[in-house]
Amino acid sequence: MGIRVNELHQVPIEDQDLEIVERKGVGHPDHICDAIMNEVSITLSKEYLRRYGHVQHHNIDKALLAAGEVQRRYGGGEVKRPMLMVFGDRATYDVDGDIIPVDELAVDTAKKWLRKNLRFVDPDRHVRYQVELKKGSAALTDIFKRQGKYYGANDTSAAVGYAPLSTTEKIVLQTERYINSPSFKKEFPETGEDVKIMASREGKDLSLTVALAFVDKFIENESQYFKKKEEVEENVNKFVRSRVKYDSANVNINTLDKRGRGMDGIYLTVLGTSADDGDGGQVGRGNRPTGLIPLNRPTCSEAAAGKNPVSHVGKIYNLLTYEIANRVYEKVSGVKEVYVWLLSQIGRPINEPKVAGVELILERGVDFKPASKLATEIVRSELNSINDFTDRLTQGKIPVC
């Protein structure tokens, strides 16, 4: 396998004049779909390992969260119609007559995730579940029966990862995690888990527009809502400004709000997520493996969440490219930015991509030749130990969204 390393003559993202970054937080409907379907894949993988010693064919990467219907009220509304979670695509339901309770495992896993991550969602009352998983095709299922140290790729797929994260990317991640942290929720219990952040950096000026669901049972009237929102906005502004060194950094929350319009002019929910009434979700519309949607960067079009962790390169390469990029950035001196590309060919062993490429943006004066040699060694080492990587994926030790 050839590994191509090139020097990329490009302005690093930190030095570009315009940067746009988005993150969909824990309670956003798209993130809910990604996170739950990946947890289902992890649960199934562990069950297959327990029963048979290896992961069986599955891809739980087609899912829909259809919004419910609520009646919002100051002091606390009610759920009129629950949300609907639809599980789709493929799974192995039996091996030589041994039946695996896939549907039950999928629903139980979803309920556990909802219970753990969304404070106001009762997974038994507020969500309905529809499992539309079917058996896999014979050709793709057969990959799991073939002998060999490495599985064959079950798709022809390209992926790209990069390192390091920019300052803007880091603050977007940190801000969403801060807003959804236990300490923040203790201080501001009226804030829900549905958070979406859109950041724009123009030169040295940073702006974060935040959509943050408020929970109606904590709000008594319109005036109190705006007072609470101002307190939250002030707090988040302090957080962001204490962590970045730009000329200016400003956070604006719920900019659609308009005083004097009552319930219609404020962002209130009953359950802390817009999925309770206003917005649906889908796998693949959420964050990339960095936890971000970085519009200035090349990213893979595949959804990593829910795909099987041992043969589906749409998951494996999507995440591995970022791990390799970080290793190269950490170990190769003089690298300002690195991009790693992997292209699979269906049926080819996953440790032998059809194309493996590295692009290095180097500091001025750095010798490309030794940097290229070390980057090549890192890529080869990572691919040769790919089974260790897929083991960590199987155990859920690598975040996907």
Domains of the chain with bracketed CATH? 3-13+156-166+286-394 (3.30.300.280), 29-145 (3.30.300.10), 167-282 (3.30.300.340)
Q: Are 340 and 297 in contact (CB under 8 A)?
A: no
pLDDT at 26: 97
Phi first, then psi: what are they for 386, rounded to 5°? Answer: -65, -30
Q: For residues 340 and 329, is the Cβ–Cβ distance under 8 A?
A: no
Residue 57 makes CB contacts below 8 A (sequence gap 6+) with 90, 91, 92, 136, 140, 141, 143, 144, 154, 308, 311
Number of Cβ within a 10 Å radius of residue 100: 19
- Which residues, other chains included, contact 101 with Cβ-Cβ below 8 Å and sequence gap of 6+? none
The 10 Å Cβ neighbour count of residue 95 is 13
Query: Which residue do the tokens 């801060």 mark?
Result: 178
User: For the chain, which ranges sit under pLDDT 70?
Assistant: 1, 138-139
Residues 6+ apart with CB under 8 A from 7: 359, 360, 361, 362, 368, 372
Q: Return the bridge partners of 160, or none.
A: 341
Task: Report pLDDT for 138.
Answer: 65
Place of tokens 């988005």: 22
Q: Convert the pLDDT of each residue in 176-223 to its tens digit.
A: 999 999 999 999 999 999 999 999 999 999 999 999 999 999 999 999
Helix, strand, coil percentages in the chain from 3-state DSSP, rounded to 5: 35, 25, 35
Predicted pLDDT at 58: 94
In this structure, the number of other CB atoms found within 10 A of the CB of residue 96 comes to: 5
Please give the Cα distance from 102 to 299 (Å, whole number).
32
Q: Report in angstroms the alpha-carbon separations of 46 from 3, 39, 55, 350, 372.
A: 33, 11, 8, 21, 39
Name the token pair of 273: 């997520």
pLDDT value of position 139: 64
pLDDT of residue 333: 96
Strand, helix or coil for residue 303: coil
DSSP 62-131: EEEEE--EEE--TT--EEEE-EEEEEEEEE--EETTEE--HHHHHHHHHHHHHHHH-TT--TTTSEEEEE
Distance CA 72, CA 192 (A): 14
> Quick one: angle between helices 368-384 and 313-331, nearest 10?
140
Phi, psi at residue 108, to the nearest 5°? -60, -40
Residue 2 CB neighbours (<10 A): 8
Q: How far is CA 297 from the centre of its chain?
A: 16
H/E run at residue 208: strand 205-215
pLDDT at 141: 78
pLDDT the model gives residue 397: 96
